[in-house]
Each structure stands twice: as structure tokens, then as C-alpha cells.
Structure 1
Amino acid sequence: MHLLIPYAASHAKACVALLPGLKLPYLQKLSTCLAAQARDFGDEMSWSPPHERALAGAMGLPVTDGQLPWAALEASKRPELAHLQGAWAFVTLCHWRATTHEVTMRQIPMRDLSAAESDTLLAAMRPFFTQDGITLYPFEAGRWLAHGRVFDGLPSASPDRVLGRNLSPWMPTATQASTLIRLVSEMQMLLYTHPINEAREARGALTVNAIWFSGTGALPDNPPNPASAHPVMTPTLREAALQDDWASWASAWHQIDATQVRQMLDAQTRGESVQLTLCGERHAQSWVSQTPTLKQKIRNIFSAPPIQGTLEQL
């Protein structure tokens, strides 16, 4: 059993202020029963957030910042696409907000986009991508798979990195990125007067005014086995953190502690092998099952550091 928790902490001021008041008794106890592994160090400006790096590593994927091949992995699961070799990317419809000083990502993915709207926009955009050697395939409403050589070796920023933030530091900068930057501009012009956006404005919905590339890269020669066990990644902290809803984030942490973490502690007590990975916005820390020595047991009882201090360091 491997539980992976994204956004276990954040350096946002509101989150830091809440950390001392978190009551996580089961997490505190579980952390004293497991052996800490080497920390995965990063920073808040990396292309790939810690939880994506941790998930990729646990799945046996190459962990190269900004080149975690999530799109290629999804394509490999589809019989009609699995034979296509090379690099892939996700193309996600989104909404940018422009001000005098910066452009920020306001919404990604579009939360209320219908399948029909997505299919219509896919049909409108596909010829532009084809001209640049990129083939688009439907994946889900508002997000498509893109196949093309341009994505090979191209770092791209995870949507989790850019939501609510100034996009300037996150735009692709690799040599081949000029093609994609031009495509982004062309799609913005196409979307500006598209009938779907006119209808969305009429009903008070955010318009689709941009696209975002992510999950770029190719699978290794020996890709992970889709049937192998993968970590369980709990989404509730991430959802609250990305909305800057820190009260809900704290409530979600208490719920996770009382349910999933408690279940892991019970499994550890029964002698089962467990692994816990906590991820912040910079670093990730994992703990695995161990058989503690008597000295470790005594130290854990009397000198185990508060788990809140560990969260602050993520």
C-alpha cells in the first residue's frame, strides 16, 4: 500500500499559519513507525510539481523536470494509439486573464465545457496543428492528446504549476518552442470570435481563450506495466489548495488523517508493507515500512518531532 498526498503543505502564508493548529494524530504516529527515505528536493519554480515527480518515479517513468510523459502514457493505454511511437503532449483548453502587467492562468481545465463544445473546437483547431506536423486525438472534454516530433525533449509546465499564476516564467523556451508559441497565438485569434465563445458569454460562462501544452515527452523503451500496482493519490488537498481555500484544505487534512492514514497505520500494525509520500510545492518526502530497533522505539516515544514541522519543510 502506497499513499501519495499532493499539497500536504504549501508555502502560502495562509497555509503556513494553519499548520501549527493541524491535529493529525495518526500521521504523527505512522511517521514514527516508518523509515524516512532521502528527500526529493526541488523548488516552487520547477516545471513538474513534487507529487508528479513522486508518481512518475513510483511508476517507473523517467523523472526529468518538465518531461514527465503523461500524455504518452495515456496514449499507450489506447489500442488505437498504442502503435504510435515518439513524443506526445496534452493540449488543454483554458482561460487566460490579461492585465496591464501580466497574463495569468485563471482556469485550467475549463470546468463547465461540454463534450460537444470540445469536439467542435477540436475540429476547428485540428487543421492548424496538422500543418505543423502535430496530430490531435480526442481524450476528454477540453483536453486532447497531441502527437508530434516537436514534443520530443520539450519541457512543459504542469497545469498545477500555472493555475492562478503569471504565465511568463512558464512559457516553453526550448529551441522548438517557437512553433508552439505561434500555434498558441493562432488559436487565441481563432477562439476570439468563435460562436462557442459567443454562446458561453451569453450564458455568463468563462470563454475558452487559450490552450496549454503539458505532459510532454516519449515513453522509455521499457515502459511501465499498466497492470502493476500504483500509488493511491488522494486529491482533496490539491483541490482545496489550487483554489486557495485553506480552511477546506485543513478540514480535508483532518479527514484524510482519520481515514486513509489511519488505515495505513492499522496495516502497518498488522505487519503489512506500507509507504507514505507527502508532497509540498517544493519537495517530497517518503517513508517506508521498517522493523524498528528498541533504541528507535524509545527515541520515537520520547523525541519524535511534531509532524507539523515536517510539513513546513516540504
Structure 2
Amino acid sequence: MTDITLALPFALPPAEMAPHLLRALQAPALAALLGRHSQQQLHSFTQHSRVLPHEAWLARTLDLVPSPITFQTGAPLAGACMRGCGLSAQAAAGHWLILQPAHIQVSSTHPSLADPRALQLDEADARALYDAARPYFEELGKPLLFAAPGLWFVRADDWAELATASPDSVVNQNLGDWLPEGDRARDYRRLQNEIQMLWHQHPVNAAREARGLPSVNSYWCWGGSSNAAPASAPTLAVSGGPSWLQALAAPELRQASVDQLLARPGHSVAVVADLIAPGQASEWAEWIAALQHIDQHWCAPLLAALKDGRVGRVHLMLSHRESWLEVISTKMAQRKFWRQPNLNLLKQA
């Protein structure tokens, strides 16, 4: 029997906005899955964690960390991303971190990390910046690997205890609160400063600014891991999302559709990442439009498959910065006609 888990990061609205957003939201299939459920559980999450709830949930789901575990030093996703990029041999040797080119913006009060999605970094620009930076890393015995324009990896065995934060947990926050911490944090910052000065004068950034694009003036490291591949993990599919998330899925499931999952036996997990950017930026009209699109193209087909027996169970994971909600619905639960479809669970998070 096919079971499908659908993860929707940032599908939970902030408590103060929930009543207004849900009055405007038209999501009948999601309302049926939430209103007619067999199980539901809300999990709280510390605001000081260095990953977001959906990132912690994903690391556990992919069997990359034991459970229970805290995420004060970050989520060990680098090795799994490398394996997805065809770098299994390298991932098996040493401690690796995800390195993402970044734009640091400075306001009147504090510096912050701009949303990496806004970089629009293409292959040519990324390769030029990578080629300029690589000798600096290699001089320190830290190999730098290029996987995609926004996804590089650095081996740093002596940074294994460095506490790092995921980019999405840092976006729009005071950067000073989220810088890497640990015995080698000063070494990290020294190298980062050198690369910042190198890239500041690079022709790529002059050309980008002329095109109205943000400069690539820094990088962000996170997700360090020295772990071997897990013994088993569910099939992961991804729709939308950054390069690191895409790398966790099989190539044929990196822009997946619900039909692909319905055709697969066993347990599949789909992460639909279209709500992260508008949720982070509080762009609520865009958030509503994206969730209604998800309702039509993901929730409605899953609900139909659940009712006609093609799917045995639909497991929803919905989150925001401080918690995540898990809801399970079955064919039997959908027969509870006395329960009206509703979105009330989104208000309780």
C-alpha cells in the first residue's frame, strides 16, 4: 500500500495573522485532510535552534540523526547532499560543510543575511567566484568542491565541532546572533573575511550590480557532517526549494509531481518548498496564492487517492519558525461525515 508524507514548510501562519489569512484562503482539499484526521500532534521548537523545524524534521526523517536530538550545532545534511551530487567517495572521507555564496546586507542597526533565493547566481558567475576562492581554501588544507551555482562543499576536519546555522534560520535575523561558534570560529571568520575582500573587487560583482543584481559579497557554511550513508531512508521527492534540498532527492524526483508519487509503492516523502520564501518575507498575498496552488495540485489529488483506496495514509507536516504540526488522515477518517472540513488546526499552531 502506498503511504505519502507531504511536508509543507511555512504552511503554518503566525498566530497573530492566522484569523485574517484563513478567512481569505480557499483550500478545500487541505481543509478535508485537516478536518477529518485520525491523528494530530503539535510539536514546539526552540527559537534558538540553529535549524528550522522543517529542516530538523527532514534530518530525522532521512535517518541522518538519532532521535531525540537537539540541533544546537546544526543539522548534518552535507554528506547526504554530496551523495545526491555524485560525490559519495569524497563525502565518506572527512568532515564536510555546505558552502553557499551569499549576500550580506547592512541596515542602520545590524547586518543580515539576504535570502539566497534572490541571488539568481548563474553557472558562469558562480564558477568565476569559485575559481578565485578555491586557492584560499586549499592553502589551508580545505578542499572546495563545486556542485551547483548555489551549492558548494568544503572539507574542514578541524571545524567538526563548529556550531553553524542554516541560511533559512538566519534570513532577516541579526547576523551577529547566528555566526558560527566554537574553538575554530575565529579561523572561520578570518578566512571568510579574506574571501569577502577578494570578491568585493571581483569583476563578476561589478557586472552583477550593473544588471541590478545583489553582489555575492560573502558565503555561508552550515550542515556539517562526517556521517556515513544511512542504512535506509524513505523515497524523497522535492518541489521547489534551494539546490541543497534538491540534492537530497533522486534526480527524477527533484521537481516532482504528485502523480509520480502516486505511481510508487511503499512510503514516499514529498517536500513542497513554495511557501518558504513568502512566509519568511511576510508576503501574505503570495503565500495565499502559493498555498492555494498546493491545495489544487497536491492536496486534492492526494485526497482523491485516499478516498478511492490508492493511498492508505496521508501524513501532513506543516511548520513555521517555532513549531511543526503533524496530521494523519486515512480513508476511514474521511468517512467521518459529521466532521466538517476546516482549517482550524492552522490557528492552533
Give the TM-score normalised by the residue count of structure 2. 0.78
In structure 1, what is the Cα distance between the partners aligned to 2:217 and 2:294? 36
2:34 corresponds to which residue? 31
- 1:98-177 correspondence to structure 2 within 5 Å: 98-109=106-117, 111-177=119-185
1:15–1:246 CA contact under 8 A, matched in 2:
no
In structure 2, what is the Cα distance between the partners aligned to 1:61 and 1:37? 24
1:186 matched to 2:194? The reply is: yes
Structure 2 counterpart of 1:49, from 32, 48, 52: 52
Q: Tell me by how many angstroms 1:31 deviates.
A: 2.1
1:255 corresponds to which residue? 293
Gaps of 5+ in 2: 237-266
1:264 corresponds to which residue? 302
2:7 corresponds to which residue? 4
In structure 1, what is the Cα distance between the partners aligned to 2:346 and 2:26? 12
In structure 2, what is the Cα distance between the partners aligned to 1:2 and 1:88? 29
1:134–1:146 CA contact under 8 A, matched in 2:
yes
1:50–1:283 CA contact under 8 A, matched in 2:
yes
Structure 2 counterpart of 1:40, from 9, 22, 43: 43
Distance change (3 Å), C-alpha of 1:30 and 1:109 = closer
1:237–1:253 CA contact under 8 A, matched in 2:
yes
Distance change (3 Å), C-alpha of 1:23 and 1:107 = closer
CA offset digits 1:231-255 (Å, max 9, x no partner): 1111221232234321011122122
1:67–1:217 CA contact under 8 A, matched in 2:
no
CA offset digits 1:152-185 (Å, max 9, x no partner): 2433211112223321111111222222122221
1:242 matched to 2:250? The reply is: no
1:94–1:109 CA contact under 8 A, matched in 2:
no
CA offset digits 1:86-121 (Å, max 9, x no partner): 321111111111234200122415533221221121
1:68–1:216 CA contact under 8 A, matched in 2:
yes
Q: Tell me by how many angstroms 1:122 deviates.
A: 1.1
Identify which range, 108-117 or 184-193, moves more after superposition. Answer: 108-117
Structure 1 counterpart of 2:319, from 273, 276, 279: 279
CA offset digits 1:165-207 (Å, max 9, x no partner): 3211111112222221222211111122122222223333221
RMSD over equivalenced CA pairs, Å? 2.8
1:90 corresponds to which residue? 98
In structure 2, what is the Cα distance between the partners aligned to 1:152 and 1:37? 37
In structure 1, what is the Cα distance between the partners aligned to 2:305 and 2:315? 11
In structure 2, what is the Cα distance between the partners aligned to 1:192 and 1:116? 17
1:288 corresponds to which residue? 328
1:136–1:145 CA contact under 8 A, matched in 2:
yes
1:312 corresponds to which residue? 347
In structure 2, what is the Cα distance between the partners aligned to 1:79 and 1:226? 19
In structure 1, what is the Cα distance between the partners aligned to 2:216 and 2:26? 41
* Partner AA of 1:147 in structure 2: R
1:233 matched to 2:240? The reply is: no
2:142–2:155 CA contact under 8 A, matched in 1:
yes
Distance change (3 Å), C-alpha of 1:16 and 1:143 = farther
In structure 1, what is the Cα distance between the partners aligned to 2:99 and 2:275? 25
In structure 1, what is the Cα distance between the partners aligned to 2:228 and 2:41? 25
Question: Which SS does the other structure have where 1:233 is aligned?
Answer: strand
In structure 2, what is the Cα distance between the partners aligned to 1:226 and 1:87? 24
The count of residues paired between Structure 1 and Structure 2 equals 309
Q: Tell me by how many angstroms 1:277 deviates.
A: 1.1
Q: Tell me by how many angstroms 1:140 deviates.
A: 0.7
2:244 corresponds to which residue? none
In structure 2, what is the Cα distance between the partners aligned to 1:105 and 1:165? 7
Question: Which SS does the other structure have where 1:278 is aligned?
Answer: strand
> Identity of paired residues, percent?
28
* Partner AA of 2:74 in structure 1: Q
1:60 corresponds to which residue? 63
In structure 1, what is the Cα distance between the partners aligned to 2:143 and 2:328? 42
In structure 2, what is the Cα distance between the partners aligned to 1:187 and 1:95? 13
2:34–2:341 CA contact under 8 A, matched in 1:
no
1:51–1:284 CA contact under 8 A, matched in 2:
yes
